[in-house]
Structure 1
């Protein structure tokens, strides 16, 4: 993990365009290649980012940028979409690198763990002809909640949340990118399953080809018969 604090401007170009004017920000460069731009606020959510697979190059500023006070330029390009994130650094305040090691992954709370168990036992909830391969399928960056096969026999990675937000989509995206490198699994599609899914998370997931499924926890437990309800 590389931590950089710098006065910088940031420009995103691709399916959308976005500009962050010059300000002091935290830049995170992770071992998986992702680059995230944070301000001193907004909780965990970055102001902008580039997810892997991507590559970063560092160049000297051109004449115009140098006149504007830029001392270095980072350009991060996504390998598949060609989207780019350009960080123009005006002043470098801190630059350090830290080895974090392998993360054991998120420890589920009781509800998420129970949801995983119930959905694994009733995998047909996701579609007729589906079968369970295993729960907690381990990858190099942590366990996928459920690995299943759909009615065609294709692999599906299922990430389970109580309330799905953008970070859940990013987590599943990282799993899918890694699993699709395995010829014994590929192609692997994704399902984000949750009791509630934020609209922003649904939009991002669907843009990445990830299916969103809202889980009825009571129905899975058998304490609520959805077919017998009046509403």
Structure 2
């Protein structure tokens, strides 16, 4: 991973255009080829980025990041304040809570729980910022990304939002809808998800496991 802190301006040229005026920013160049531009006031979210596959062309004052679709991020460098490279080694991956991991496995086996005619594309669908729990297709063939939690909090909605922003840049997948699935979903998380067009699904762990409720029944 390469970390560059530079005074720069950034211009995105593609389906839309965007401009960031000259300022001090962090440029993050990862081993997977992705390049992202960060400020000091946006937490984890980059101001602009280019996902792999893409390539970086470095001239003394201008960096150009381009992908196969012809989209470009042009970074004009005024001054480099820091430039360092670091070898992070092999990423062992996120170790999930046992119940959460089992929920993902069960929902993958019973994806029709989300809708009739739905099919599973892949578990742990890879993206440049981490794997989506499930990538599915609905009965009409549209792509749906599913994020699974044991307890649905606002940070889980934010995580799924980041995945959707990235996935919808891929013309082979877009448009991609989102589902936020959990055993419990907090009201604030549900409100945020629904405001962003993300469907919320409450999962019944025992039902997915095929265990019927231990209750007296009339029939």
Q: TM-score normalized by structure 1? A: 0.62
Q: Is the counterpart of residue 168 in structure 1 residue 163 in structure 2?
A: yes
Shift of 1:106: 2.6
Which residue is 1:39 aligned to?
A: 39
Do the aligned partners of residues 16 and 200 (structure 1) sit closer, same or farther apart at CA in structure 2, a change above 3 Å counting? Answer: farther
The count of residues paired between Structure 1 and Structure 2 equals: 190
Q: How many angstroms apart in 1 are the aligned matches of 2:63 and 2:71?
A: 14
Go from structure 1 to structure 2 and tell me whether the alpha carbon gap of 1:18 and 1:134 turns closer, same or farther (over 3 Å shift): closer
- Alpha-carbon distance between aligned partners in 1 of 2:77 and 2:34, rounded to the nearest angstrom: 18
Is 1:193–2:144 an aligned residue pair?
no
Structure 1 residues 131 and 75, CA, compared in 2 at 3 Å: closer, same or farther?
closer
Q: Spell out the pairing of 1:51-90 with structure 2 (5 A cutoff).
A: 51-60=51-60, 72-80=61-69, 82-90=70-78
The residue aligned with 1:21 is 21
Given that residues 52 and 78 in structure 1 are in contact (C-alpha distance below 8 angstroms), is that contact kept between their aligned partners in structure 2?
A: yes
Q: Is the 8 A contact 1:8 1:89 kept in 2?
A: yes
Give TM-score, length-normalised by structure 2. 0.65
SS at match of 1:46: coil
The answer for unaligned runs of 5 or more in structure 2 is 182-189, 208-219
State the match for 1:217 in structure 2.
Answer: 202
CA contact (8 A) 1:112 1:160 kept: no
Q: What RMSD in Å do the two structures reach over aligned CA positions?
A: 4.1
Distance apart, 1:113 and its partner CA = 3.3
Residues 215, 112 of structure 1: alpha-carbon distance in 2 compared, 3 angstrom cutoff: farther
Aligned mates of 1:105, 1:6 — CA distance in 2: 30
